[in-house]
Amino acid sequence: MKIAVASGKGGTGKTFVSTNLANVASKAVRVALYDLDVDEPNCHLFFNRDHEAVETVKTMIPVVDGEKCLHCGTCSDVCEFHAIVSLPTDVLVFPELCHSCYGCLEMCPEEAITEGFKDIGTITVSEHRSMTLVTGKLRIGQPATTALVRATKDEADTNVDVTFYDSPPGTSCPVIEVVKDVDYVILVGEPTRFGLHDLDLMVQTLKQLDRHFGVIINKAAEQNHLLEDYCREQEIDVIVRIPERSDIAVAYARGELVTETMPELEELFGRTFKRLRQITVGSAHE
């Protein structure tokens, strides 16, 4: 069972939900939590970790052989990222702009371009009780978010019952990379006008991708039914409402798992996990 936890925008409580769901699930089954918010991963702040292993992730950058190059300009023309520029006497490569698409290698008529490599970030694997935490961290300034998300997902722990993906915020390519092959997507939304606007963008994206999803309403206030009304209109399942409480916000800011320190929230996340198992088993038989 693979579940992505996503949101249309940052700050809705996506990491709060994914860390506490993974924690509560790890008390019953073997769990892997992947922090794929590679620009600023922070799931690791909530866990005591053992056996930490770090590997560097590399992607391709072109290397030009000056002896073979005839300065025809084809590589400049095919590179939509302006990462390679052919000059009358030289070819310049800008690694920080290169998206490793291989376009210039394939199109060079002189076969003057070969593969070099650059570091784009790291993947850290650690253990927390019966949970494996896999964290992708992008090097500052690298335009390789999607590539690192893919590489982190490929760090597959097949010996688990449930995998949670903590997705980057938004609706762009890295998020599509996260949700494209999961069994279910949890959208974490907050009941504000901004929250609804960005949640709707994500809902439309997931509908286009034909993904199975539901909504967790975070910071839910008693009298505010903005998201419930929206979900009813759109026929979207509301999985659970997490109340807006200052003690929850304080615990999160301290880096505490509320499923360890607040029994009623442990119970709420436990119920949520059971519900997710029922939903995903049900959808597997559809």
**Among positions 1, 17, 32, 98, the unique one binding ligand SF4 when judged by CB under 6 A:** 98
Judged by CB under 6 A, the chain residues 164 through 203 that form the site for ligand SF4 are none
Q: Are 172 and 41 in contact (CB under 8 A)?
A: no
Judged by CB under 6 A, the chain residues 39 through 78 that form the site for ligand SF4 are 62, 64, 69-75, 78
How many CB atoms sit inside 10 A of residue 29's CB? 14
- Asked if residue 238 binds ligand SF4 (CB under 6 A), the reply is no
Region from 48-56, 79-87, 199-207, 261-269 binding ligand SF4, contact rule CB under 6 A = 79-87
Region from 25-33, 108-116, 122-130, 260-268 binding ligand SF4, contact rule CB under 6 A = 108-116
Instruction: Name the strand (E) or helix (H) holding 204.
Output: helix 193-208
Q: Judged by CB, which is closer to ligand SF4: 101, or 221?
A: 101
Nearest to 22, CA basis, from 162, 135, 188, 140: 162
Q: Judged by CB, which is closer to ligand SF4: 61, or 220?
A: 61
Q: Are 109 and 40 in contact (CB under 8 A)?
A: no
Nearest to 228, CA basis, from 189, 273, 266, 183: 189
Nearest to 152, CA basis, from 22, 57, 254: 57
Judged by CB under 6 A, the chain residues 111 through 150 that form the site for ligand SF4 are 112-113
Residues that bind ligand SF4 (CB under 6 A): 62, 64, 69-75, 78-79, 81, 83-84, 86, 91, 98-104, 108, 110, 112-113
